[in-house]
Chains A and B, each alone.
Chain A
Amino acid sequence: MIDSIKDLADWLSEPTRYSIGTALLLLLVVRFRKWASHPVVFAITCVLIVAFFLVSWDDPNFNRIVTKPDNIPIIMMIGSLLFFTWLFLRRAVLNDERIKRGEPTLEGQYAKQKVHVWPDLVYIELICMVLFTVFLIAWSIEIEAPIEEPASQARTPNPSKAPWYFLGLQELLVYFDPWIAGVLLPSFIIVGLCAIPYLDKNPKGNGYYTYEERPFAINFFLVGFLLLWCSLIIMGTFLRGPNWSFFGPFEYWDPHKLEPMVNVNLSEYFWIYLLDQPRPENIWLREAPGLASLFAYFVILPPILGKTLFRKIATEMGPERYNVMMHLFLWFVLVPIKMVMRWTLNLKYIVGIPEYFFNV
């Protein structure tokens, strides 16, 4: 019984199933948020998760990866993400119902009342500080900060992992070259975050929780933050072992585990499989199909979408805002697109010009 649960967990956490599974889960939770955010449902979910942990605790492989001192904060992060996402959904659902009935929101009903900072706010701050100090001291006494062997340039540990908060980007190295995963995408994340307040012209939902008044913004952030950032960090921490191979939570980290590398470039698909001829010598001709599809994606697609699917958004935003938003948005969407193409078509590069380190 327990063994079959473990096998199922290992099977489910294979990267393709893991990514599609978490995406489906988020979709279902948001779609049926009224039901999913019910306190009873949330309580049952928590009990099930705790039960899973307790049952798994005795498994040596699970125990080793979960109790690693530096992984404990990530367990806390998972817990707090679950809790706060639930809290958001709960309050958003309640507020949306209130707005429909014409009542003030949970926040709005007290917004006109003012309270003294001393004592109302100062005491909350003091209590939080005391509790967190106690928590930190207890944690520090209980768990010793690890120190490994002295640094050596000669011995590379396997796996070599970046600090945990960058593991999402390291996971993207599976799908993209470093200049995209390590330089371009982080830059776009920072620029994109900065641009958010200037792109989102929806005046509603300022200062209270809501879903229905700004579904696009909320869904965009939930996907970006929970799926593309946090969930990839969790995967990079717990499910990636030696050689960056995938390992289930109950699997032994065997450094000799082999994963077949059968990835194919788009140019090979086009010239060899489709036209049945060798790839041309000329780089630009060879990569023409990939370059053309990138051109179509980044240059032709935005105006078409602006006239059709995003018509309402495009007219509301105006051309400058719309183009900036679309460019950032298309990069954002390129990440899951490339992941799906890798899983389904074994696609390596859309454009592969290793001669100039230009691989997309």
Chain B
Amino acid sequence: MEKLFAYIRASQIWRSIFRHGYPDTPRNRTLAVLSNFFLHLHPVKVRRSGINLSYTWCMGGLTFFLFLVETITGLLVMFYYRPTAELAYQDIFALREHVPLGVMREMHRWAAHLMVITVWLHMYRVFLTGSYKPPREFNWNIGVILLVITLLLSFTGYLLPWDQLAVWAITVGTNMARATPFIGHEGPGAALVSFGGLDFIHAGDDIRFALLAGRFVGEGALLRFYVLHCVGFPLFAAVLMAVHFWRVRKDGGISGPL
């Protein structure tokens, strides 16, 4: 057995992938992080206080992990789902009834709920340890935007099963947009946006109409939410996450006492 492992590790294939020896010396441990694309998100060394679980709560890392879970399970669910008013509900129902071992929708839903909670707990920890203070002010701001995107991702996904819960939750949620000052048709100041007695802002062209592609939650809203949920927001989130992680390192690594 020993010999077999030694043979594999000496082979050209292994050595072409891992360009360093077994990571049990400082030099090889450094190389293990530096020469691996995925691990090189990390610095080579971190403060011992910064990896203490009762300090970090691990919530930022878990959020990223849950984002990856959402990406993978979401991709698999997309195989079975067509975003039209006639088919969406049927497809979700068929996924539950006919697909063997189908727990991907369950995982997608529970991990999504969990991700919202882990984002909040991450921000809770960052606030309580004062980690938003200089030099990390800007990264806190990126984090706030990522929080908003997480909520929007969850909100757009909420509509896709196209059942009563989905449609009415989104109806209640987007009804707020009616009341946006000046650009919602029931908002304060909307009546002022008129010209010669002609209202510019009404139910057919206000901000809620733009969100839903209609006066109520219908087919247009379903497609719009689907595209945003599967492509728009994940892309946006991925870019901002890259900036977020990069800035963590540039701003001095996981926060700790100065």
Contacts and interface: CB of A to CB of B under 8 A. Distances in A.
B106 A145 contact: yes
Given A113-B47, A183-B177, A207-B257, A88 B128 contact: yes
Nearest to A147: B163
A209 B129 contact: yes
B11 interface: no
B136 to A, nearest CB: 7
Interface string B34-59: 00000100111111110111110110
Contacts of A170: 172
Contacts of A92: 128
The secondary structure that dominates the A interface is helix
Interface residues of B, number: 100
A15 interface: no
Interface in B91-142: 92-93, 96, 103, 105-107, 109-111, 113-114, 116-117, 120-121, 123-125, 127-134, 136-137, 140-141
Interface in A57-107: 70, 73, 76-77, 80-81, 84, 87-88, 91-92, 104-107
B173 interface: yes
Nearest to B148: A190
Interface in A145-181: 145-153, 155-157, 160-166, 169-170, 177-179, 181
Interface residues of A, number: 96
Given A91-B54, A161-B172, A165-B116, A206 B165 contact: no
A196 B140 contact: yes
A358 B189 CA distance: 8
B84 interface: no
B157 to A, nearest CB: 9
Contact of A107 (B57, B105, B127, B256): B256
A208 interface: yes
The secondary structure that dominates the B interface is helix
Contacts of A151: 85, 89, 162-164, 166-167, 217
Interface stretch (A118-126, A256-264, A277-285): A118-126
Interface stretch (B2-10, B25-33, B226-234): B25-33
Given A80-B117, A128-B62, A132-B65, A117 B46 contact: yes
A41 interface: no
A168 to B, nearest CB: 12
A140 B128 contact: no
B169 A118 contact: no
B124 A357 contact: no
Contacts of A182: 175-177, 179
Interface of A: 70, 73, 76-77, 80-81, 84, 87-88, 91-92, 104-122, 124-125, 128-129, 132-133, 136-137, 139-141, 143-153, 155-157, 160-166, 169-170, 177-179, 181-184, 190, 193-194, 196-198, 200, 202-210, 214, 217-218, 221, 225, 230, 356-358
